[in-house]
Amino acid sequence: MKIDLKIPTVGESISEATIGSWAKKDGEFVKRNEILMSIETDKASVEVVAENDGVLHVSTPAGQTVKIGAVVGFIDTEGKATANTATVNVSAAASAAASAFDKPATPPPSQHLSPAVNRIVHEKGLDASTIPGTGKEGRLTKGDVLAASSPAMPVTVTAPTAQKTPAPSPVLTPRGPSKQGDKKLVPMTTIRKRIAERLVQAQHTAALLTTFNEIDMTKVTELRAKYKDKFKEKYGINLGFNGFFVKAAVEALKEFPAVNAWIIGNDIEFHNYYNIGIAVSTEKGLMVPNIKDADTLSLAGVELAIRDLASKGRDGKISIDDLSGGTFTITNGGVFGSLLSTPILNSPQSGILGLHKIQDRPVALNGKVEVRPMMYVALTYDHRIIDGKEAVSFLVKIKEGVEDPERLLLEI
């Protein structure tokens, strides 16, 4: 019995997908619920599993973009596996090739000599097999045979003279062959194309403006140092900085609801919930999974949610639901060493908070100069819906929350 293998429906607005890779070979026996392949949509990667035991037959190779519902192969529940035989044959061929490779190379026969070299060899009565060749693949060159036929010249030693001869100028030789023109074209993945489209869309449709501030991270750093061991012992995760910024962002969004809203046509859609997107860098590109109802979570709950979403993103297991419904985004370029940047909106959202590297800097406090761990933060916002005063005040609210973490966690 043959069972068609179809591209599953992975979202209401998704009409096509790209086959990322096949986990099983054509002709290989598979078992029910084993992963057959991964497909990439414009939002996430999805794994497709076998619905029955049988032999897999692949009709569409990896890298092809197909419509949702398209048949890309089938499972023969009564077939016999053929993939293993092919593997054995390949291995045998590889072993034979390796054996042949290990055999010592024989000197090139005389008929492989160039006419000029062959003439000199015969005129001088030389044995070509005893002359080391410096040409391509060890072939003899005209210079090789002339050097072999010339007698060694006597070396004459002369007394040094008072006048010094100038040292020869160094000769610069190229390190290797030029790589000019060495290039390749790699097709963009579905996810990468979608990321590009959304970023360009945000630039073209929103009135983007960025405001900056800096945050003294002293108290948060001290709090982490004091409780990090107990926190990890109880929850099994490290106490990071992102959790504090998520909590601070939620409090700021409550006070400035326009930052948690977006524009639909001629209307503004306000949200009474707080789904905070956390930008995650993966091998397939930037993804922004969301912490749903972040206002209902404790600091530990937020940290656990961030860990789980980051792991799913790196493992390619982010779901459509994880990527949907975000109302505000936080991106942390500081983990890569970025000191300052202007993040781009995650459309259709109206605000995105950019975090950066914590760096010790001298600051003036109460008439004295002290060295403090400081972080630049940036808020990019849609000026069509958020006024400059709101944006600056929103960022100041986040600054106040992070600089006074006890008050932040008490929500006062």
* 267/365 same-domain check: yes
* CA distance linking residue 129 with residue 140, whole number of Å: 10
Of 365, 302, 363, 359, give the one whose Cα is nearest residue 330.
302
Sign of torsion over alpha carbons 50, 54, 58, 63: positive
Q: Are residues 131 and 273 in the same domain?
A: no
CATH number of the domain within which 374 lies: 3.30.559.10
* pLDDT for residue 173: 64
**Domain for residue 278, yes or no?**
yes
For tokens 């072939």, what's the residue? 139
Q: Single out the catalytic residue among 308, 322, 383, 404.
A: 383
Distance CA 48, CA 37 (A): 5
Q: Is residue 93 assigned to a domain? A: no
Residue 139 and residue 241 in one domain: no
Shared domain for 339 and 399, answered yes or no, is: yes
One-letter identity of residue 287: M
Residues 68 and 118 in one domain: no
- Residue 51 belongs to a domain with what CATH number? 2.40.50.100
**129 and 77 inside one domain:** no
Same domain flag for 121 and 57: no
- Indicate which residue of 4, 204, 387, 404 is catalytic: 387
Does the active-site annotation cover 383?
Answer: yes
Q: What pTM did the predictor assign?
A: 0.63
- Residue 379 forms part of a structural domain: yes
Domain count, the chain: 3
pLDDT of residue 41: 74
Residues 276 and 382 in one domain: yes
Residue 180 lies in a domain: no
Domain boundary among 101, 117, 145: 145
If asked whether residues 310 and 381 sit together in one domain, one would say: yes
CB 38 within 8 A of CB 8: no
* pLDDT < 70: residue spans in the chain: 10-13, 42-44, 83-119, 136-137, 142, 145-147, 149-175, 190-191, 284, 412
Q: Is residue 99 part of a domain?
A: no
The pLDDT value recorded for residue 88 is 39
160 inside domain: no
Domain that holds residue 127: 109-145
Same domain for 392 and 278: yes
Q: Quick check: is 387 catalytic?
A: yes
Residue 182 lies in a domain: no
Same domain, 72 and 114: no
Note whether residue 170 is domain-resident: no
Q: Compute the distance between CA of residue 120 and CA of residue 344 in angstroms, rounded to an integer.
A: 73
